[in-house]
Structure 1
Amino acid sequence: MGVSPTTPSSSSTIIPCDNRTPSNSHPSLPQDPAVIVDADSLIHSNDTIWINGRKFHTCAGASYILPCDEEEIDRLHLLHFMVRFAIQGNYLAPVTDSLRKGAQVLDIGCGPGSWTMEIAGEYPKSTIVGIDMTNVFPRDIKPTNCHFYQCNALQGLPFEDASFDYVFMRFMSQGIELEQWDPLLKDIIRVLKTGGWVEVVEVDLELHRTGPTTKLYNEHLISLMAERHLDPCSGRRLKERFDNREELTNVNSTFISCPGGHWAGKLGQLTIQSWKSYYQALGPQICIASDMTMDEYNENLETCWDEADEYKTFENVHFAYAQKRSA
Structure 2
Amino acid sequence: MGNNPSREKQGTKSSKCRTTLTPFNSTVSLNSSKAGIINRFKTTNRHKKSVSLVQQPFEESTLNSLHAVSQPTFEAPSIDKYTDSQMTLLSNNSSQVESMHTSSNSYSTLNTHMSENEMARAYSSEMMLKELYLLCETSPERIKDRDRRHRQHYLLKRIWGSNYRIPLVDPTLIIDWCCTTAAWDIELAIEFPNSKVIGIDYESATVASLNTSVKNFSFQNAMIHQGETGLNVIENNQVDYIVMRDVWLVNCPVSKWTNLFEEVLRILKPGGYIEIYEQDTNYKSVGPYLSILEGWADIFYEAIKLDRNTNNQLGSLLKDSGFINIQHEYKELPLGEWPEDKESKETGYLQKDFTERGLREAKRWLCKFNNVSEKEYAHVMTRALDECEDYKTYIRSLYFSAQKPS
Q: TM-score, normalised by structure 1?
A: 0.78
Counterpart in 2 of 1:293? 373
Q: For 1:1-327, what aligned pairs fall within 5 Å after superposition?
A: 20=100, 47-49=106-108, 62-64=126-128, 67-68=132-133, 69-95=142-168, 97=169, 101-138=170-207, 139-141=210-212, 143-153=214-224, 154-156=227-229, 157=231, 158-177=233-252, 178-246=254-322, 248-264=323-339, 265-326=345-406
SS in 1 for 2:396: strand
Give a deviation string over 1:209-256, Cα, whole Å, max 9, x none: 11110111122223312210123333211111111122x111111111
- Structure 1 residue 135 displacement after superposition: 2.5
* 2-structure distance, mates of 1:196, 1:76: 26
> Is contact 1:224–1:289 with CA below 8 Å preserved after alignment?
yes
Relative to structure 1, the CA distance from residue 235 to residue 176 in structure 2 (aligned partners, 3 Å threshold; closer, same or farther) is same
Relative to structure 1, the CA distance from residue 189 to residue 64 in structure 2 (aligned partners, 3 Å threshold; closer, same or farther) is farther
Relative to structure 1, the CA distance from residue 59 to residue 305 in structure 2 (aligned partners, 3 Å threshold; closer, same or farther) is closer
SS in 2 for 1:292: coil
* 2-structure distance, mates of 1:311, 1:203: 20
Greater relative CO, 1 or 2 (CA 8 Å, sep 6+):
2
> What letter corresponds to residue 251 of structure 1 in structure 2?
I
Give a deviation string over 1:109-135, Cα, whole Å, max 9, x none: 111112112211222222110011242
> What letter corresponds to residue 133 of structure 1 in structure 2?
Y
**5+ unaligned residues in a row in structure 2: which ranges?**
1-96, 111-121, 134-141, 340-344
> What letter corresponds to residue 263 of structure 2 in structure 1?
D
> Is contact 1:206–1:222 with CA below 8 Å preserved after alignment?
no
Q: Please give the root-mean-square deviation of Cα atoms over the aligned residues, in Å.
A: 2.7
SS in 2 for 1:91: coil
Give a deviation string over 1:78-109, Cα, whole Å, max 9, x none: 112111101111122222x2xxx242001011
* 1-structure distance, mates of 2:109, 2:321: 39
Relative to structure 1, the CA distance from residue 267 to residue 50 in structure 2 (aligned partners, 3 Å threshold; closer, same or farther) is farther
> What letter corresponds to residue 310 of structure 1 in structure 2?
D
- Structure 1 residue 311 displacement after superposition: 0.8
> Is contact 2:173–2:197 with CA below 8 Å preserved after alignment?
yes
* 2-structure distance, mates of 1:278, 1:309: 19
Q: Which moved more, 1:277-286 or 1:102-111?
A: 102-111
> Is contact 1:202–1:318 with CA below 8 Å preserved after alignment?
yes
**5+ unaligned residues in a row in structure 1: which ranges?**
1-16, 23-43, 52-57
Residue identity over aligned pairs, in percent, reads 22
> Is contact 1:64–1:175 with CA below 8 Å preserved after alignment?
no
Post-superposition, which runs of at least 4 consecutive aligned residues in structure 1 deviate over 6 A?
A: 58-61
Relative to structure 1, the CA distance from residue 93 to residue 219 in structure 2 (aligned partners, 3 Å threshold; closer, same or farther) is farther
SS in 2 for 1:159: coil
SS in 2 for 1:135: helix
Greater share of strand: 1
> What letter corresponds to residue 386 of structure 2 in structure 1?
D
Q: TM-score, normalised by structure 2?
A: 0.63
Give a deviation string over 1:49-92, Cα, whole Å, max 9, x none: 479xxxxxx99982555844010000011112111101111122
SS in 1 for 2:282: strand
- Structure 1 residue 287 displacement after superposition: 0.5
Q: Which moved more, 1:271-280 or 1:73-82?
A: 73-82
- Structure 1 residue 47 displacement after superposition: 4.7
* 1-structure distance, mates of 2:307, 2:125: 16
